[in-house]
Structure 1
Amino acid sequence: MAVGCLAALPAVAQDESEDVSYPELLDFSTSTKASAISEGDRRLGLTDRSTESNEVGLDIKPEWVWQLSPHWRSKLRLQAFAATGQVDVSDEIGGTETDGFFALREAWFDYNGLTDYPGESIRFGRERLKEGTGTWWDDDITLVRWIFDTTLLDTTVGVADKMSEARTDVNELPKEEQDIARFFASTRWQWRKDHYLTFLTTHAERYGNGEDLRPDSESGTPARVPESLTWVGFRADQAYFDWHSRSTVQYLASFGAVAGTDARLSEDPAAANGFTREERDVSGWAADLGLRAQLVESPRWVVGVHGAMASGGEKPGESDAFRQTQMESNRSRFTGTRSQVARFGEAIQPEWSNLKVATVYTALTDRDWWAANLLYHKYWVSDVSGTVISDLVEPDFTGTSDNLGESVDMVLGYYGARDTGTWSDIDARIRAGVFFPGDAYGDDADSARHRVVLDVTKRF
């Protein structure tokens, strides 16, 4: 993970002897993506009304990058999306159904005149904050952060607030995400060639008052509201997310913990604001271990295994369930190819909480032009007294079995030339997943639920 590197753009060498006119447009491009999306019933056949759908969508993202002066840069990225019906856009932000919107994705300024060091800057505005695993940060958010980027050390420290989704189809944030200030920091150190140690921390502090949590017609009563939560994470890896890597063996060891307080809300018509509020102590942990072996160097053929676990369970006044930061996407290049793959399954996409997942995968790629990924996941509930939250599957498990099910994913991608202006710069991708519900959903659940997304992207 190199948060400082993610949004960094190619350095612009400024020769003081040259007569440069500002502002200078460094880059302009537009990405146009056409998609076909097919989904099985999110209710797993447990209700009379099915949510099965087959839709098409169009997504347009223009972006501009300017050099405003020798020390100031800025970026603006917009989005327009339209679909024939309600579809999930979880490759952008998790768990959001929509049939269209206009959005402000990024709008930030960057100042690198603090010191003479070229990799140091201050950035503020709305930015895509992302780290390599996607399980901590991968979201558009309003922030101010300091960036320090070197060959061996990448560091960022900042504060953020999800003031708005900046989308025309979302009137306001869900109640559980409103009025929360976030502090975040990460450091990634290359202690030897291709071996990295990463430390991350996030703190979320609610500054709103209890009256703001009353139910509304759009999001109802929020189930869990952060009050004061702190996450700490540590990761050791051998260039695990570098799709150009030629290492024969690669490893990943990731550990995280959350502690603090949150509030559990339940509907209560007799209460003045429509709910009762129970404050809880939170203490949870999670781990993800992965090992990958390269069988053939060119084209690169790898096999890998992962074991992930997140604590779960609730008692009156306390919770030992791990919960994520609400800035995650759970998408990354963890298979060793260029493909962004859902870490816990394309057709279920659960939150990393109260969950055990065993993953086996194989992938084949030439590293630059194409990639093929095949994955198998097996799921268990960590604590049957807790809950499991999914972006794509609505019913909770019955609590009588810890066998949540299994899934199979196939992700194929072709990546065209990076030079825009020709028809060779087309990307094509298919993400296909099937989830097979286990005994935890009962005998009446459907035997399978699918999600298939075909994307064709043209850059201008």
Structure 2
Amino acid sequence: MSKLSITGCGVLMALVAAPATAVETDYALKTDIAVVDQTPGDFGRQDKNHSVQAYLDATPWMRFQFNQHWSGFLRVRLFAPTGIVQTNANDNNNVGPTNQAFLGLKEAWVDYAGFRYPGESIRLGRQRVRQDDAMYIDQDVDSARWIFKTTLVQSELGVGREFGTYRTDDVGLPPDQKHRLYVFGTLGGEWKAYQRIGVRMMYVHDDYNVPQPGQVTNVGTKLSAGNLLWVGAFLHNHYYDGADAPPFAYNASINWLSGNQRTALVDPLTRAVTDVTDRRVSHAWAADVAVRYRLPVEKFPLQLGAAYVYSSGGHGNDLSSQYSQTGLQSNYSRFTGTDSLTQRFTDAYRADLGNLKVATAFASMNMGQWNTSFIYNHFDRVHGDAPVYAENISALPVNTTGSLGQGYDLVVTRFFGKKIAHTDLLSSDEPASSVRFRGSVFKPGSAYGPNARNEYRVSLELVLWM
């Protein structure tokens, strides 16, 4: 466990040990039971069958209010699957599909709010750091963070590092997250009512020397290191506020990436390093625009929307202009205008930005406790000789054509029961019990060859808050 988390947990336990009359506590338990039917993600190349698995994901939390200025939060997790399965949410407690049951620590932090402004605080420990679009960051991170949230200004500045998955089954971090320091910040505000503008940044430093030619590696070895800087700007009118968003909602963002990276090239048979390459990252960028309109019919509140994302790609061995995301993103957001978190780039595909163009059209409805979203995505490569990445797909393109494929998602949710307290601490959750159906199909394009089969992921999920 990291020194930062030990510090946060230590302060938290010391404060908890204060006299019981001095500490106000709130607690809740979220239990998620799901059944998932999913294809293997190889487009039928290895003739593998689909699998049907189930899992239990229980996350109790407790909030402590020690006095007017000090508070704390603790959230743990029990995960138990029937076989190899990936959860619907993408977080670093579940770094990939697993068949192992485990106990995990999600959050353990203390917060000091004794400053001049009511919405200002310093938070220390393992904590959820999330931005509305989830394309920069949406993870539990060991970090120290200054938070400033008032009616007109919403900003933060933090430093963090992934020290582990905090799981009892000792599953390690993905290689690219090891030995990596993050510095991140956002400065945003309302320039007029319901019109938000802002800038954001993230700096990554890898404190690591990559393996040298001749060294033998394993699948957990970190093969790249460097320094990367993302700088971006955004403009929207509370587009991600779900059912509370305005009838006409828009969102626009642009991000630039620069820096340098050193990468070890590995022989796939012997796992020995054959060469080490250096690249300068420049002229890498990504942009996202979206609009959504809710029809003014009270009994039939249909919302129609469209979005387009462009992320630059490299050329062959020259990846200096290849955009990539930070590695802390989840791409789960409320972009369709409902209160359900939905995968932005097709749940059966789960693309990451970089050498990618995505055109999106969707329709959604909020009918009281019911909401529904239907989403269509069309995926193309910017350059056929540069890489693309998708978390649910193990097969690579077989040619240099641009068409990657099309995605279709249907998400239907029925909420019930009362909302739990302190929803401001649960931005990556939906704070009410629900039954949800997720159905997703990815139809591969010509880039994956003429005989590539469709991939799908279907899940039925019951979430109970107690």
Is 2:171 the partner of 1:162? no
Match of 2:462 in 1: 456
SS of the equivalent of 2:64 reads strand
Which residue of 53, 76, 79 maps to 1:78? 76
Match of 1:439 in 2: 446
What does residue range 384-403 of structure 1 map to in structure 2 within 5 Å?
384-403=384-403
| Distance (whole Å) between structure 2 residues aligned to residue 273 and residue 67 of structure 1 | 53
Is the Cα contact below 8 Å between 2:34 and 2:54 reproduced in 1? yes
More divergent stretch after superposition (411-420 vs 152-161) = 411-420
Deviation, structure 1 residue 246: 5.7
Is the Cα contact below 8 Å between 1:205 and 1:228 reproduced in 2? yes
SS of the equivalent of 1:21 reads helix
Instruction: Flag structure 2 segments of 5+ consecutive residues without an equivalent.
Output: 1-18, 422-431
More divergent stretch after superposition (310-319 vs 404-413) = 310-319
| Distance (whole Å) between structure 1 residues aligned to residue 57 and residue 71 of structure 2 | 26
Which residue of 59, 62, 67 maps to 1:61? 59
| Distance (whole Å) between structure 2 residues aligned to residue 246 and residue 109 of structure 1 | 31
Deviation, structure 1 residue 339: 1.1
Deviation, structure 1 residue 116: 3.1
Deviation, structure 1 residue 103: 1.1
| Distance (whole Å) between structure 2 residues aligned to residue 109 and residue 183 of structure 1 | 20
| Distance (whole Å) between structure 2 residues aligned to residue 252 and residue 61 of structure 1 | 32
| Distance (whole Å) between structure 1 residues aligned to residue 30 and residue 439 of structure 2 | 22
SS of the equivalent of 1:256 reads strand
**What is the TM-score with the length of structure 2 in the denominator?**
0.87
SS of the equivalent of 2:416 reads coil
Match of 2:426 in 1: none
SS of the equivalent of 2:132 reads coil
For residues 40 and 157 of structure 1, do their structure 2 counterparts lie closer, same or farther at Cα, with a shift above 3 Å needed?
Answer: same
Deviation, structure 1 residue 216: 4.7
| Distance (whole Å) between structure 2 residues aligned to residue 176 and residue 391 of structure 1 | 14
SS of the equivalent of 2:84 reads strand
Counterpart of 1:139, as a letter, is Q
Is 2:225 the partner of 1:219? no
Is the Cα contact below 8 Å between 1:383 and 1:402 reproduced in 2? yes
Counterpart of 1:32, as a letter, is T
Deviation, structure 1 residue 268: 4.7
| Distance (whole Å) between structure 2 residues aligned to residue 395 and residue 279 of structure 1 | 26
Deviation, structure 1 residue 418: 2.1
Match of 1:335 in 2: 336
1:35-70 Cα deviation digits (max 9, x unpaired): 00010131111124x162111111100000001233
Counterpart of 1:280, as a letter, is R
1:426-456 Cα deviation digits (max 9, x unpaired): 311111100000100001211x111011110
Match of 1:207 in 2: 207
SS of the equivalent of 2:98 reads strand
Counterpart of 1:187, as a letter, is L
| Distance (whole Å) between structure 2 residues aligned to residue 419 and residue 232 of structure 1 | 36
For residues 419 and 433 of structure 1, do their structure 2 counterparts lie closer, same or farther at Cα, with a shift above 3 Å needed?
Answer: closer
SS of the equivalent of 1:325 reads coil
SS of the equivalent of 1:86 reads coil
Is the Cα contact below 8 Å between 2:212 and 2:276 reproduced in 1? no
Match of 1:237 in 2: 236
Counterpart of 1:305, as a letter, is A
Identity %: 29
What does residue range 303-342 of structure 1 map to in structure 2 within 5 Å?
303-316=304-317, 318-342=319-343
Is the Cα contact below 8 Å between 1:98 and 1:169 reproduced in 2? no
Kindly tell me the number of residue pairs found equivalent between the two proteins: 432
| Distance (whole Å) between structure 1 residues aligned to residue 172 and residue 185 of structure 2 | 27
For residues 226 and 303 of structure 1, do their structure 2 counterparts lie closer, same or farther at Cα, with a shift above 3 Å needed?
Answer: farther
| Distance (whole Å) between structure 2 residues aligned to residue 212 and residue 153 of structure 1 | 48
1:55-97 Cα deviation digits (max 9, x unpaired): 1111100000001233211100011111111111251327611
**What is the TM-score with the length of structure 1 in the denominator?**
0.89
Deviation, structure 1 residue 153: 0.4
1:339-372 Cα deviation digits (max 9, x unpaired): 1111111110011111111100000103x52210
1:269-297 Cα deviation digits (max 9, x unpaired): 99997352211111211111111111134
Is the Cα contact below 8 Å between 1:281 and 1:317 reproduced in 2? no
Match of 2:29 in 1: 30
| Distance (whole Å) between structure 2 residues aligned to residue 212 and residue 85 of structure 1 | 37
Is the Cα contact below 8 Å between 1:206 and 1:226 reproduced in 2? yes
C-alpha root-mean-square deviation of aligned residues, in Å? 2.4
| Distance (whole Å) between structure 1 residues aligned to residue 259 and residue 376 of structure 2 | 35
Counterpart of 1:394, as a letter, is S
Match of 1:93 in 2: 91
Counterpart of 2:265, as a letter, is S
Deviation, structure 1 residue 163: 1.0
What does residue range 48-447 of structure 1 map to in structure 2 within 5 Å?
48=47, 50=48, 52-93=50-91, 96-99=96-99, 100-113=101-114, 115-211=115-211, 216-219=217-220, 222=223, 225-245=224-244, 247-268=246-267, 274-283=273-282, 284-298=284-298, 299-316=300-317, 318-366=319-367, 369-418=369-418, 426-446=433-453
| Distance (whole Å) between structure 2 residues aligned to residue 265 and residue 378 of structure 1 | 33
| Distance (whole Å) between structure 1 residues aligned to residue 188 and residue 317 of structure 2 | 38
Deviation, structure 1 residue 28: 0.5
Is the Cα contact below 8 Å between 2:217 and 2:272 reproduced in 1? no
Deviation, structure 1 residue 334: 0.3
Counterpart of 1:347, as a letter, is A
| Distance (whole Å) between structure 2 residues aligned to residue 304 and residue 380 of structure 1 | 20
| Distance (whole Å) between structure 2 residues aligned to residue 78 and residue 269 of structure 1 | 38
For residues 51 and 227 of structure 1, do their structure 2 counterparts lie closer, same or farther at Cα, with a shift above 3 Å needed?
Answer: farther
SS of the equivalent of 1:384 reads coil
| Distance (whole Å) between structure 1 residues aligned to residue 437 and residue 212 of structure 2 | 42
Is the Cα contact below 8 Å between 2:444 and 2:452 reproduced in 1? yes
